[in-house]
Amino acid sequence: MTPTWELVPRTGIRRDGLDVFLGMRREALRSSLTDAVGEPRSHFPDEDDFRSTRDGTWIRLRYDGERLQDVEFLGGDLSFDGVPLHRGARWPRLRDQLAERDYEFHSAAELGDGQECEALGVNIATHEDVGGQGDGIEWVIVAAAIGQE
């Protein structure tokens, strides 16, 4: 069974003792993620993409200088409190499951597309939100800017 990444609200993601937390240094993240997911690819100077052909994990990290400011989860299994957030998740059901746990979402204010939850510090966008089709989840982004004063 493929391990699932877990959302750590307003902090980042983790799996099997591997933490990807906001504020961490780029060099440390590259070192730890390379073993678990593979070599980073960088399309922009402030980003690293990590993709695994083994389990479908695709994570894009954005930095402010050398410190992590956004974790964009684009592929693989991610969950929070037993609720699948990505692979196979659909927005209406996901919104309702999180609302049952008292998490409210509003139209994105920080990242432009999708819905944001300040309590979780996340932006969640569907395929339709970004110009595609359907209510499947395109990304889950943990961002330092969401919910900050």
pLDDT (tens digit per residue) in 128-140: 999 999 999 999 9
Per-residue pLDDT band at 148 (split at 50, 70, 90): low
Mean pLDDT of the chain: 93
Mean predicted confidence (pLDDT) in 81-105:
96
For residue 149, pLDDT over 80 is answered with no
Q: Where in the chain are the domains?
A: 5-75, 90-143
DSSP letter (8 states) at residue 29: H
Rounded to two decimals, what is the model's pTM?
0.94
Q: Give the containing element (helix H, strand E) for 60.
A: strand 58-64
Identify which has the larger pLDDT, 112 or 28: 28
